[in-house]
Amino acid sequence: MSRSTAALIALSVYGAVLVAIALWGGRRTHNGNDFFLASRRLNAWLVGFSHTANATPAWLLLAFGGSAFAWGLSAIWIWGAVVAGYLLNGFYVAPRLRQLAVGQGSLTLTQVLSADGGDRLQPLIIRSAALILSIALLLEVSAVLHLASSVFAENLGFDVTSSCITAVAAIVIFALVGGFWALSLSDVVQIGVLLVVVVIVPLLALAVTDGREQMEIGFQALGPATTDWFGGKTGVVALAFVLGVSGLGFELTGQAHALNRFMAARDEVTLRRARWISVASVAALLGVTLIAGWTASVVYAGLEQPERAVFVVIDRVLPPGLAAVIIALVLGVVLMGMGNRLLVLASCLSADMKRAVSPLSFAWARVVLVFYAIVALCLALYGGESLLNRAMFAFTAMGAAFGPLLLVRLTGKRVRPGSTLGAMWAGFVLTLLFHVLPDAPGDFLERVFPFVAALGIALTGGERRRNPDRADRSQETVHDRVPI
């Protein structure tokens, strides 16, 4: 059996599972509220695993595994940063965000952040958030499509264009039929497949290197920087590296496609259970991913694209047919995770930007989703940047644009409309600026400085007003100007 045939069989089985999930979700999707947020009826398991799959999606785990491959032991700081970010999301953000969203009747993160914008500036805030989300998520989706189609072509012999078109068509149909329900359940499947694969890689590496002792000898032979907790860096450079990597945890507070899982939780009890599920699952999954990257560096040192380390080890060690099956399944779950991004993009134009008096159009939401999918497909086919360049920028930009503002908003402070706009654009523009400049240790400038700058703007622009119904100066009354 050829590699292509084995991969097609695996993808067909996975496709059958997705069809069943889509039909299951379709039976529960009757209107726009179901389509975008499952009418806030998700149970703890769906919330917990789906948040994990979206906050640290499959492509990001591959990137983290690549970091372990390239950096050595210093990649352990990624584990600490991400787990700390999950604790912040689960114990601080989740209960407050759900309470605020339910109280406002908000379906999206944009609606939560713009609620205090007032009649004059709220439309501008919504358009700004929609533009930032569109740029970031389209870059992420197109980068993942580009990566997956390249691996399909190089490892399995598929055509790049055909792979991209087929993948986009499958994602769109799945999202249109099953909506939020189906996407959440598919995230659980994604976590299961990834966990099995990243456990297999270290076991394969140990088998090839004849045991743990030989693995340790091979790892130490890679050089002193590989076995140093700071990657051979010292002093201020080491501190900048640690702070830069730690920024990954704070950026989790701005990932709209992950935070809406908290908004979809059934009740507070569900959230309390879900946060433990989420933290435990990411701690185990990310830990095994880093181990897979370290062991892969011994088996296949010198790889030019470290994010492909998992694929390379599987392809090198396993029989061709079995390797093709596993690679195809990993690529399948990587691609299906993009459906959540397209759903968030659809909400930008169909839910966030509709008139307050207009009902939520289910049909229009589907049209917008298809539109964004076509744009992402074009970017994937004609864009040449690597996965880390585009997707990591998207992840960082969303974290800096929305994370600081959300953290301040959840303290109970109202952020002035001008400061809301300033915080969003400062986080995004500064991330873009430092992204195009040469990298600092741990990408410190790109991952930390924009977030801190946006947080400062949001904090200084926050206020507690006497009149809780007043949203901005355009609604000011004489009683607000005259002491009584």
Helix and strand numbers (H, E) in the chain are: 22, 2
Query: For every residue of 71-116, which 3-state class applies, written as one string?
Result: HHHHHHHHHHHHHHHHHHHHHHHHHHHHHHHHHHCCCCHHHHHCCC
Q: What is residue 357's predicted lDDT score, i.e. its pLDDT? A: 57
Question: Which residues, other chains included, contact 46 with Cβ-Cβ below 8 Å and sequence gap of 6+?
Answer: 184, 185, 187, 188, 261
Handedness of CA 394, 330, 108, 451 (dihedral sign): negative
Residue type present at position 69 = F
Longest dimension (CA), the chain: 85
On whether the CB atoms of residues 215 and 298 are closer than 8 A, the answer is yes
Structure tokens at 273: 């259970």
Closest listed residue to residue 171, CA positions, set 320, 316, 297, 333: 333
pLDDT recorded at residue 484: 35
> Nearest-CA neighbor of 271 among 53, 101, 91, 102?
91
pTM summary value? 0.90
pLDDT, position 101: 93
| pLDDT value at 447 more than 70 | yes
Q: Are 306 and 70 in contact (CB under 8 A)?
A: yes
pLDDT per residue as tens digits for the range 366-408: 899 999 999 999 988 886 656 667 888 999 999 999 999 999 9
Q: What is the pLDDT of residues 328-365, one digit of tens each?
A: 999 999 999 899 999 999 988 888 777 665 667 778 88
Class of domain 3-382: mainly alpha
DSSP string over 256-306: HHHHHHHHTBSSHHHHHHHHHHHHHHHHHHHHHHHHHHHHHHHHSTT-S-G
Angle CA 467–474–127, to nearest 5: 110
CA end-to-end span of the chain, whole Å? 85
